[in-house]
A and B are shown apart, each in its own frame.
Chain A
Amino acid sequence: MHALWWLAAVAVAAICGIVSAAGIEDGEKRSGFDFMTPETQALQADDMSNPGMLWVLQGEQLWQQAQGRADVACSGCHDDARQTMRGVAARYPAFDAATGRPIDLAGRINSCRAERQQAEPLAPESDALLALTAYVTHQSRGMPITPATDARLARFRDNGRGLFQSRIGQLELSCASCHDDNWGKRLGGSVIPQAHPSGYPLYRLEWQTVGSLQRRLRNCMIGVRAEPFAFGAPELVDLELHLTEQARGLLVETPAVRP
């Protein structure tokens, strides 16, 4: 009997091994936070010193401001974000029935503006869009990333994985070349993390400001001398779907601080 259980355990381990062989093993999953210096970790951990909190506070104000021709605030429909938005960002990107595609949180905020508030979309990387996205995501801080299991997302997530593994640019490197195969080593003076999007929008010391995951992805593409996808491009949302699946179970940190 014991032998049978042992065989079953070996079989399960073998299958799990095969499934996760392409990425990072679950037991090795680590937030970028773990790769930072104690000083930068302390900056993130204390809300009074975390500069990303300024965007969260701005987002809290914007949440309550009436906007657009409908003259309605986010809170007009969604009420108190501390209750209604709790856990929402941990499930994003979600499937958007209107476009038949996945949509990220910033995209949802803009589509809500267009449809409910009848307002102009907020520009990518604008303070207002980053602030609202940070405020909504902040309501999930400390909750595990639990990507939506909607079957309609599967082919977009697959496309994201394919993009993550594709060598691009003049340097012919893929995201996986560094972040799956060589995390923990140093590129120039910087430790390569595992590319988990657990803290976006986040305050990057190198940027001296808050930025989105899409900004970070574009930075890497430019680094390998590739033509970056435009802000809002469907490929960037597909990549985010793959990344959130990889990060499943890590805790939301927004607003994170990174070097």
Chain B
Amino acid sequence: MMRVAFLALMGLQLGASPGAGEERRSYVVTGDAIMQPLVGGKGDPARGAALIADRQRSLCTLCHSGPFPDAHLHGTLAPDLTGVGARLSEGQIRLRVVDMKWLVPNTIMPSYYRVADEQGRRVATVWRSKPILGGADIEDIVAYLTTLKG
């Protein structure tokens, strides 16, 4: 099954807010995957590894453990990412980072490439109208996670 996620609809809010940063593009969900990269070209696995280890920016290790530095600071709220590249395809990983709520609506995993519905959400000014990560950052993370074969 194919479903087009019209992020452009929410992009109206983006457009109304100057300095909102990188424009988010629409993407196509096929089954439980996003087959095409969000931005042109492949991501950089080395940059992705560094980003995952960055607790302030990506936040990944607050919930996930895996073959990353500082194991004692890894969370246990979400699955261990060791071997995720063997369990999931690149496209499946991409959708899970972009918008896990598309698959599991009540998940605690933030949707990294979606602007939070701002009605009643009290999003802090500095984060308002912005996705958690830009498309290029997400592609770097996807490129890295696909290398984790076990």
Which A residues form the contact surface with B (CB < 8 A)? 166-173, 177-178, 181-182, 185-189, 192, 221-222, 225-227
Contacts and interface: CB of A to CB of B under 8 A. Distances in A.
B75 interface: yes
Contact of B120 (A166, A177, A186): A166
18 contacts: A166-B120, A168-B120, A168-B123, A169-B123, A169-B127, A170-B127, A173-B110, A177-B108, A178-B77, A181-B108, A187-B62, A187-B77, A188-B61, A188-B73, A188-B75, A189-B74, A225-B127, A227-B123
Contacts of A172: 110-111, 116-117, 121
A168 B13 CA distance: 18
Main DSSP-derived SS at the B contact region: loop
The 10 closest A-B pairs by CB, nearest first: A170-B127, A189-B73, A226-B122, A186-B76, A171-B110, A225-B127, A188-B62, A227-B122, A185-B76, A227-B124
Given A169-B122, A185-B75, A222-B124, 9 more contacts: A168-B122, A170-B132, A171-B110, A173-B108, A173-B110, A181-B108, A188-B62, A226-B122, A227-B124
Contacts of B117: 172
Main DSSP-derived SS at the A contact region: loop
A177 B108 CA distance: 7
Interface string B117-136: 10011111101101010000
Interface range for B: 20 to 34
Contacts of B77: 178, 182, 185-187, 192
Nearest to A174: B108
B72 interface: yes
Contacts of B123: 168-170, 225-227
Contacts of B76: 185-186
Contacts of A182: 77, 108
Contacts of B33: none
B103 to A, nearest CB: 15
A167 B111 CA distance: 13
Given A171-B132, A172-B111, A177-B108, A189 B72 contact: yes
B63 interface: yes
B61 to A, nearest CB: 7
Contacts of B74: 186, 188-189
